[in-house]
Amino acid sequence: MADIQKRLIQLRARRVGDDRPARTLLDAAETRDALIKSLTASNESWEEKRQSKPFTAYAIGAMQPVDAQYTRVSREEAKRVEDQLKPRLSARGIPTEYRLQGSVALDIHIRRVSDVDILALDKSHLTYERHGVAAGRGMYLGLPARMSPTVLANLRRGIVTCLEDAFPRAQVEPGSKAVSIAGGSLRRVVDVVPSHWHDTAEYQQSQLERDRGVTILDASDGRTIENLPFLHIHRIAEQCKATYGGLRKAIRLCKQLKADMEADGRTVALPSFDIAALMYHADETWLRYGIVSELSILGEAQRHLDHLALNRTEARKLKTPDGLRTILDTEKKFEGLTSLSVEMDDLVRQVAREHGVADPTQLTMDGLRTTLRSAKVIA
C-alpha cells in the first residue's frame, strides 16, 4: 500500500481543509487559510491512533461523516443558488421548485468542500406513465402539448442566464446534464440539473415523492433520461438505518480509498454512485456489527468487493437501488471494481498486522476478518 502517512495527510485535508481549491476558485489568501485550518484544526478522535496504528486510524477515519458544520454550509450554498434562480426564472415565465440530490443529500460525501447537486424542476411540465391509475382516471388531461427536450433546453438556457446575472463574479459552466457554478461569493461548487417531474405508475398509486421520477436532458445529444433519485436516496437511507449507520461508513471508506488511489495517479473507473449502489448489496449482518467494532465494516467491504470481483456472473446481476439498471454495465467498471478490491485487500492485511497478526499472508481473508471483528478500537 502507498505511504500511509501521506494518505493520512490527504484524508485530513479532504475532511477539514480544502484538497481541491481550484474547484471553488479560491484566491491565494483563501487557499492559505484553508491549508492553515487543515494543519491547526483539533484532531478528530480517529487521529489518536495515527502514530501507534496508522492503518487503523486511516480505516476508521475514512468511514466517518464530514463535520456537520461543513455539510450545513454545502446545503446553505445550494439554497442560495435556489433563492436566486427561483424568482428570476419565474420572471421569465418558468415556475420552478428544487430538490437536493447526490452524496450531500445522503451524507456520504467525503470532502469538506463537496460539490452540491440540486434539481431545478420546471413545474409547468411533466410526463407520466400511461398505465398508472391516475392516468387511467384522466387526471393528466389538459397538459400542455410540449416536448420534454424543448422544455428542458429552454430551462437550461434560463438557468445559465439567471446564474450569470445573480453571481456576476462566479464562473458558470454548462455541462452535458448540469450547469455548474463556482467561485465569486460561493463557498461550494453547485451543480444545477434542469429537470421536470415524471409520474411513474408507482407514484400515481402511492403519491410518495420517493416513487416519483424526474426527467433530465443530455445536452450533448439532445436525448432525455428518466431517473429515480429519491428512490435511490430512500433505499440507501433505509438500509443505513437497518445497519446502524454501517452502510454509509462502508460507502465513505470505499470512496476515500478510491480518492487516494487517484491521488497516486491510478484510474479507478467506478463512479461514486456505483460504489454506493454496490455497497447497498453488502451483507447487513456484518455492516450492523460495526456498532460493536467499526473494523467489521472494513472486513465486510473487503469481503463484498472481493466476492464480486471473483464472481462476475453474479456481480453482473446486481441492480442500482432504484432498480433502473445493472450497476456493472461496462468492462471499465469491472476493472475499477477489481482495482478497488485489491487495494481493500491490502488495507485489511495492514490493519490486521497492527492488531497482532505477525504475517497476514499466512492467514486466509476469513481469518483476517475474524481478527478485525474482535479488535478493540477506541475511535
Mean of pLDDT values over 168-196: 96
Beta strands in the chain (DSSP E): 96-101, 116-128, 170-174, 179-183, 190-199, 213-218, 223-227
- 2: pLDDT strictly greater than 50: yes
Q: What is the largest CA-CA distance in the chain?
A: 73
Q: What's the pLDDT at 144?
A: 76
Asked if 303 and 286 count as a contact pair (C-beta separation under 8 A), the reply is: yes
Would you tell me how many other CB atoms lie within 10 Å of the CB of residue 377?
A: 18
Give the pLDDT band (50/70/90) at residue 17.
confident
Give the pLDDT band (50/70/90) at residue 344.
very high
Which of 2-6, 268-272, 296-300 is predicted with the least confidence, judged by mean pLDDT? 2-6
Over residues 131-174, the pLDDT tens digits come to: 999 999 999 988 877 899 999 999 999 999 999 999 999 999 99
Q: What's the pLDDT at 348?
A: 97
Give the residue carrying C-alpha cell 490486521.
352
Give the pLDDT band (50/70/90) at residue 178.
very high
Higher pLDDT, 313 or 52: 313
C-alpha cell at 217: 436532458
Q: What's the pLDDT at 114?
A: 87
Give the pLDDT band (50/70/90) at residue 26.
very low
Give the pLDDT band (50/70/90) at residue 27.
very low
Give me the half-sphere count of Cα atoms (radius 13 Å) on the Cβ side of residue 291.
9
194 contacts: CB under 8 Å, gap ≥ 6 = 120, 122, 152, 155, 156, 159, 179, 216, 217
Q: What's the pLDDT at 19?
A: 61
Q: What's the pLDDT at 37?
A: 54
Mean pLDDT estimate for the chain: 91
Q: What's the pLDDT at 22?
A: 55
DSSP type of residue 291:
G
DSSP type of residue 326:
B
**Which domains does the chain possess?**
69-227 (3.30.460.10), 234-374 (no CATH)
- 318: pLDDT strictly greater than 80: yes
- 233: pLDDT strictly greater than 90: yes
End-to-end CA distance of the chain: 23
275 contacts: CB under 8 Å, gap ≥ 6 = 251, 254, 255, 258, 340
Q: What's the pLDDT at 160?
A: 98
Over residues 45-98, the pLDDT tens digits come to: 666 666 689 999 999 999 999 999 999 999 999 999 999 999 999 999 999 999
Q: What's the pLDDT at 28?
A: 45
Over residues 108-135, the pLDDT tens digits come to: 999 998 899 999 999 999 999 999 999 9
Q: What's the pLDDT at 29?
A: 47
pTM metric for this prediction: 0.91
Asked if 219 and 160 count as a contact pair (C-beta separation under 8 A), the reply is: no
Helices 246-263 and 331-354: crossing angle in degrees, nearest 10, is: 100
Closest by CA to 328, choosing from 314, 345, 341, is: 314
User: Dihedrals φ, ψ of 278, to 5°?
Assistant: -65, -45
Give the pLDDT band (50/70/90) at residue 43.
low
